[in-house]
Each structure stands twice: as C-alpha cells, then as structure tokens.
Structure 1
Amino acid sequence: MYARLSAMLFPIVSLFLIGSVYWGYQEHQEKNSVLLKAENQYQRAFHDLSYHMDKLNEQLGNTLAVNSTSQSYHRKGLVNVWRITSEAQNEINQLPLTLLPFSTTEEFLSKIANFSYRTSVRDLTKQPLTDKEYATLKTLYKNSQEISADLRKMQAKVLQDNLRWMDVELALASERTPSDNTIIDGFKTMEKKVSEYPELDWGPSVSALYEKRTPRMLTGDKLEPQEIARKTAKFLGLRDSGAVKVTENAKGTEYESYSATVAAGNGRNIQMDFTKQGGKLIWFMDPRDTGKSRNVSAREAEEEARRFLASRGYPDMEAISYDDADNSLNITYASVHGGVVVYPEKLTVKVALDNGQVVGLQAADFVYERHDRKLPKPRISEKEARKLLNPSFRTTGMRLSLIENELREEVLCYEFRGSINGGDYRIFVNADTGIEEKIERI
C-alpha cells in the first residue's frame, strides 16, 4: 500500500520540485535582468556626467577666449553653458546619490545654470558682460576644470577596476556596509572641495533666487500670543478671544511664527498662521466639507471674495486668475497701486460654492512682497505697444501691470488680454523697452 502511494506521489512531488526550481530560476533571471538594466543606466549617467563636465569646462574657456566686444559669441557661449550644465544636473539626479550629502555641488551647478541663462537672455549689445561677470566666469572655468579632473580620475578607476554602481546603492542604503567604496569616497571628496570654494558674486538676479524670505524682512514689533489671539478673533468675527488657542513655532529662530486654532464644531478646527514680526496673516483655512451641490456662480463667488478682502484690510485688489476644484473656487488677487496691478503682491482666496463662504486664504506672497514702490512711468505709448503684438492676436482688454521678469527684476508692462490660435492669452509688453517679457495661457 505504501509502495503504491509512494509510486503515485513521487511523480507529483517531482513535478512540484521541478516547477519550483524553474520558477526560482526564472525569478533569478528576471532579477538579474532588472539589476543589469539599472547598472547600465547608472553607468551611462555617470560617464555622460563626466563628458558634460569636460564640455562645460571647454565651453567656459571658449567664451572667455573671444574678444570682449563679441557679444553674439558671448550669448551663444552662455546659452551652451546653461544647456550643458542642465544636462549635468539631470545626470546627477539619475545617480543613486540621494543618501549621500551632495547638495553643495548640486547648488553650485544650479547657480552656474541660472547665472549663464540670466546673463544670456539680456541684450548684451546694450548690457555687455561686466568686469565682475568676467571674473565670475574665470573662477567658474578654474573650478569646473578641477571638478572635471576629479571625475576623470573616478571614471578611470571605475573602468580599470570594473566597479559597479549597484554596490554604491547598497553601500549607501546599508549602514552595516563599510563606507570605503571608491565611488562614494570620490563624490565625498568632490563635495568637500566644492564646499570650500569662496562665495562668488553671482549678481543680484541669481542671488535673489536663493534668498530666503523670512519674517526678518518684515516691519513692526514682535507680538505676544495674546495679541495674536485678539487678531484671530477679530478676523473671524468672534466676540471673545478666549476660544483661540495660540502655539508658538520655531522659537528663537528667524522663522518665528504663531499658529492659531479655533474649534468650530463637528470636530473641525479653523487654523491660521501669523508671522511673529508684525503679526501678519500668512494662511487661513476652514477645513469644512464643501459638499457637492453648487449653489453659487463663479461671479457671485468672486464678489463674495472681494467683500471678504475689503472687510479684512485688503483694499484695491484685482482678480488675476482662478481655479475651480472640489466644489470651491480659488481666486488669485493682486494689489493695485495708482491703477497698476502689482503681480508680486498677490494672495489667493478659497470660496465654497455650496454657500459662498470664504474658507481659505493664502497670503504669503502678499506679506513678504508688499512694500512701498515708486512705480515708473511708461516710456512707450499703448499704441506703440499694440503695434508690437502679433497681427493675428485679438485683444479683449489692456491694463498696466508690474511683474517680475526672468531676471527677477520688477518691470512695468502693458498687459494685453486676448486670443490667438484658439487659445486665450496674457501678453506682457515692457512699457520701457517694448520687448515681450512674458506670455501666459489663460
């Protein structure tokens, strides 16, 4: 009986065993295939990075080699520097370096890209490279030469010893793995070297990109929690500030702020954030369910948002855009000074479309960008600006606006609204030079 049972089970068990071995083999092959593909991608990104750093150094050298009056070649060279640097940044992002401190080198490349782009887009015939910009380019040429040389040494080592990037990924992911990996050590050395470079004069347009907006930029005294509670009660129309709970954030740092919370029933809390310096409202949110029924039109919602702003100390605001989502309307407003719409001073109001109640306000840009400005006068007329538009552009409206251009400079523009090629657009024409500063699809 046992012999018969064994004879019956043996083929079945054998089939299961063979199937398990085959399945394991297939899984192993697929795993190896995935690992091989990842390794090939890492190797390609690394060798491309080394190549592009060589090209970056070469292009910087070429740009410096031509005559100082060769503005056309300077523009071409700087555009190529921007393009090559952007490709190098992309290749760094493809490498498994997320667990390795490499932020200084990435920021350095980012600043090179921004410096070269912002310098190349201006009219170099009217604003040629300055002595400071030449000095910056010379320093970048020297620094890129050092980085390129380090990468070439690493590249030679990788090829000579057949080093694998998958080992780098494992070494970074596992604390138990010894950290004597050649590639890791090479990138750590590069990061240390870049961090020791003296700070360069990147110019105001690039420096502004990395400038952190903090409450130190605000005016006014530092407020106490009790004063924030009173501000919250007044904003919400409460008679008593005793129901307001105020929490201090980041005490002793430059990011000091307050969070105010008010219980609104049904388990929800209305939340507001204020700067400690001056007590400026940054953010307000009533997280109630706005339902699905739409009882308020977009026009009615905009009117309610305008009344809300006017009653809470935000006068002379102009709606510049809106976004319809989750049965609510997010309307963005900008300040108006002397008939000019000031785009940097903007805030967003969220209106529930079930009953028209304002349930949110995001005012960080308004808080940090609002200050006294001396608005310039247009040097070209509206008629002259219109002549610069595409003849096929059908204009439906025009207003004067102050915007930030690509160089982070505030410029006065004629803002033309209209349509072309089946789409609605805003075209901003510089009221001083006549160039088209920005084009936005509405």
Structure 2
Amino acid sequence: MGRNIVIAVLVVALISTGYWGYLEHKDKNVISTNAENNYQQAYHNLTYYVDNIHDHLGTTLGTSSKDLAAPELTEVWRMASLARGEIGQLPVTLLPFNKTQEFLSNLGKFSFQTAIKSNNGKLSDDEYKQLQNLYNQSEEIETDLRQVQKTIVDNHLKWMDVEVALASQKQPNDNQVIDGLKAVNQKVEGFQNEWGPAIARSNLDELSELNKLDGPTISKEQAGEAVKNFLNIKKAQVQVRQLGKGSGYKAYNVTINQKASPIVASVTQKGGDVVSFIKHRDVGSNKLSLNDAVDKANKFLKSHGFNNMKVTKTDQYNNVGVLTYVLSKGDVFLYPSSIRIKVALDNGEVLGFDDKEYLVHKDNRLKSYKPKIKAAEAEKGLSQNLDIKTTDLAVYENELGEEVLCYSFLGTRDKDTYRVFVNANTGQQEKVELLTA
C-alpha cells in the first residue's frame, strides 16, 4: 500500500515537472520568436531606408536648384536618422558596425546642412561632387545589405543565432550574417569623404563621453550587481558580456533571466552607471492613463536620485506609455540632458529606461545661459494660427550637434499641440514638434 502511494507521488511529481518544463520551453519559444521577428523587421526597415537614401540622392543630382534639392536632402537626413535607429534594434553591439553608423550620421548631417545653406539658390561644385560620391557609396551599401538579406532568406538563417554567436564571443567564421555585416563596415571604412569638423562630430564621439564618468572601473560581477541593485532584484541568474567596438563606449551588457520577463541592460565600465534597460514581457489591456504613467515614472526617477526632471513628451504604443524627461536648471530646460522611460499601462511597471543623453551631456549643467532677445520679440515670428500656452527658456541640440539657447513655445492649433524652438539670440526658428494629434 505504502509502496503504491510512493509510486503515485513520484508519477505526479514527474508529470508536474514535465509540464512545468513544457511551459518554460513554450515561454522561451514565444520570447525567441518575438525577438527574431523584431530583428527581421529591423533589418528589413534598414535596407528599405538605405534604398530610399540612394533614390533621394539620385533625384538631388538631377537638379542644380537649391529649392528643388532641399526637400530631397531633408528626406535623406530623415531616412539616415531612421536607418541608424534600426541598427540600434539589431544585435550588433558586440560587432564592429560603428563605421556604418558613423557614415549614416555624417550623411544625415551633411544633407541637412546642405539643404538649409543658402548659396545663391544653387548647389556648389563641391556640394555636387560630395553628393555624387554619397550617391555611389549608398548604392554600394544598398547592394551589400541586400546581399546579406538574400543570404538570410536563401539559407533560412536566424538573427537569434547571430546573437548567440556574438554573446558566446566565439564569433565563428562560418556565420554568414556576421561576415556580411563586417564586410559592409570594412567597405564603409574605406570611403573617402570631406565632412568638415561640425559634421564629423558623430554620435559615437558623443557616446565616448561615457568613458569619462566619475568612479572606478568595474568588473563584470560588479556590473551584474549594479543592475540588480538598480532594479531592486535580490536573486537572479545573471549573464554579463562586454559590449563591442560598435557601441561607441566601454560597457557591459547584462542579461537577467527571469521566467517570461527577461531583462537586458547596459552598464558603463567607468563608474558603473546603468545606461539603459528593457524588460521583455507581454503587456495586458490598459488600466492606467498616461497621467498615471507619469506619476509612476516620477517616483522611479526620484528613487534613483534623478531630481529636477520634467516630463516634456508623452506617447502611447501598444499599451505602453513612452515618456521623455529633460533636466531643468533654474528656469532653463536642458533638452540634451534627457531620459526616456517606458511604463506598462496594465500595472504601472517601468519596462524601459535610457539615460545615455543625460549622462553624455553632464557638462551643460555647469554653464550659464542668457538670451540676447526677449520672448516677445522671438514670438513675433510664430504662426498667427498658434495659440501660445506657455513660454520657457530651453537649450536645444540642433541637427549638427550644436547646443543652442532657445525659447520653447508650447501652443495649440485646433486639436493639435505644437512645441516651437526659437533661437534666443537670433530669433530664427530651430525646430517645430507636433506633440499630439
């Protein structure tokens, strides 16, 4: 009798263990599939944007009129920015892909600068020559990216395998995706372009400021502890690896394995600052408003020592609130010192955090800012259709990476809300943002 009971208990335990293993395997498969789909979509978008860059550069070369070229060049700038964003979604932080990112950054800045510069209404000979070079170079990148994409499709390759190969730090020679992207990066490195100092100051140069943060250089073990402490996690399985050259700064990638909700974070080697983290989980239906999300994010920031942060933009995507905060110094808003936070609208949990810009632009907190013109004079150039609600002083970073003191006007037109940055020294409009629709 007793023996039968023991056997029955063991059978139940075996079935329970098997079922638990099945559920865990199923959860991992769901996470893996979602990640693979995201990687595939990001690469598809990257190739699409580079295709468009090539097309718009070609259209620009068909005209010598600055009026006709400006819209095309503005579109090149926009597409270059979007392409860089898609690279950020791929598992290439451990792979030298920095030259490709730098090329897209410089290409965007050059296009924007050329579009807004006045040169007797025509493209100069030097600008035309540079655009011809960029047209040819973008075609080479387009062709190589398409070849990598064809290799992936023809051989049924997975981006998750790339991530595993890179994470293992073995980087096998037979990984065709890794080899293809390395080849693209090496080709871009050989391009010859005269960018000029203002344009050549790339985002990767900016990120190198993270290597100058205060504090000691930390180990992998300390990086894992830094993330656990930041997120108030007591016990968890942690994997830590070093970011590659493509990241632009020295840091560790930390993965915290939690059932159905893994966390991936970046921590600087110098100082051990958490630069970003994202928690992967399915978000249920909305139970909270964006105002509730702001309250949750405010508490999160204060609990981590981020004071004087003001929310300047709120968006909502797939039941998640995406909030942008900037630092306020007295009566001046320092837009380059920004932090982005994602909050789940089902329970208010913080799912994402990124303070790279806040850490990079620490020096602007030491400066003093005084406008040369008054707000009333700056407001004269605004559209008469805008109903101005608030006016603030703000430091804004333009497309060339230059910090400019502006008046920030928040206004409405019909159901839309706009923020307009007007240079506080010259009265020139720097940027217009549509905040809500």
The answer, yes or no, to whether TM exceeds 0.5 is yes
Specify the code of the residue in structure 2 equivalent to 1:224.
S
2:412 aligned counterpart, secondary structure: strand
Aligned residue in 1 for 2:328: 336
Number of the residue aligned with 2:382: 389
What secondary structure, in the 3-state scheme, does the structure 2 residue paired with 1:351 have?
strand
Aligned to 2:418: 425
Distance in 2 between residues matched to 1:330 and 1:348, nearest whole Å: 7
3-state secondary structure, aligned to 1:380: coil
Tell whether the 8 Å contact from 2:70 to 2:116 is kept in structure 1 after alignment: no
Task: Select the structure with the greater relative contact order (CA < 8 A; seq sep ≥ 6).
Answer: 2
TM-score, normalising length from structure 1?
A: 0.57
Aligned partners of 2:323 and 2:341 also within 8 Å: yes
Distance 1:382 1:331, change over 3 A: same
Matches of 1:105 and 1:302 in 2, distance apart?
36
* Residue 300 (structure 1) shift: 2.3
State whether residues 390 and 411 of structure 2, in contact with CA within 8 Å, keep that contact through their aligned partners in structure 1: yes
Which range moved further: 406-415 or 210-219? 210-219
For residue 253 of structure 2, what is the aligned residue in structure 1? 259
Q: Displacement, 1:379?
A: 0.7
Q: 1:235 aligns with which of 223, 226, 230?
A: 230
Distance 1:359 1:352 in 2: 6
RMSD, matched Cα: 4.9
- Contact 2:102 2:203 survives alignment (8 Å): no
Q: Any stretches of 5+ residues in structure 2 without a counterpart?
A: 1-50, 80-98, 137-146, 155-185
Of 308, 311, 324, which residue of structure 1 is paired with 2:316? Answer: 324
Separation (CA, whole Å) in 2 of partners of 1:272 and 1:211: 19
CA 1:231–1:328: 2 relative to 1, 3 Å: same
Deviation at 1:273, TM superposition (A): 1.9
Q: Is the 8 A contact 1:342 1:401 kept in 2?
A: yes
Q: Secondary structure at the match of 1:385?
A: helix
Which residue in the other structure is 2:402 paired with?
409
Change (3 A) 1:386 1:114: closer
Max Rg structure: 1
| Deviation digits for residues 27-75 of structure 1 (CA, Å, limit 9, x no counterpart) | xxxxxxxxxxxxxxxxxx9xx99x969x95995xxxxxxxxxxxxxxxx
Taking a change above 3 Å as real, the CA distance of residues 123 and 380 of structure 1, as seen in their structure-2 partners, is: farther
2:374 counterpart letter in structure 1 = S
Say whether the 8 Å CA contact 1:328–1:353 is kept in structure 2. yes
Provide, for residues 298-351 of structure 1, a one-character-per-residue CA deviation record: whole Å limited to 9, x for no partner.
222211211100111221111111122333312111122232222222222122
Identity level (%): 28
Report the residue type matching 2:264 in the other structure.
Answer: Q
Partners of 2:310 and 2:187 in 1: CA distance: 50
Distance 1:244 1:224 in 2: 17
> Quick check: 77-86 or 421-430, which moved more?
77-86
CA distance in 2, matches of 1:326, 1:86: 27
Q: What does residue range 26-175 of structure 1 map to in structure 2 within 5 Å?
A: 56=61, 59=64, 80=69, 83=72, 114-115=109-110, 117-119=112-114, 121-122=116-117, 140=130
1:123 and 1:278, CA in 2 relative to 1: closer, same or farther beyond 3 A?
farther
In structure 1, runs of 5+ residues without a counterpart are 1-44, 60-75, 91-103, 126-132, 148-168, 176-191
- Alignment match of 1:303 (pick from 295, 298, 307): 295
TM normalised by structure 2 equals 0.58
Determine helix, strand or coil for the equivalent of 1:407.
Answer: coil
Give 1:424's aligned amino acid: T
User: What amino acid is aligned across from residue 414 of structure 1 in structure 2?
Assistant: Y
Q: Look up the match of 1:223.
A: 218
Q: Secondary structure at the match of 2:221?
A: helix
**Distance in 2, Cα, partners of 1:82 & 1:107:** 23
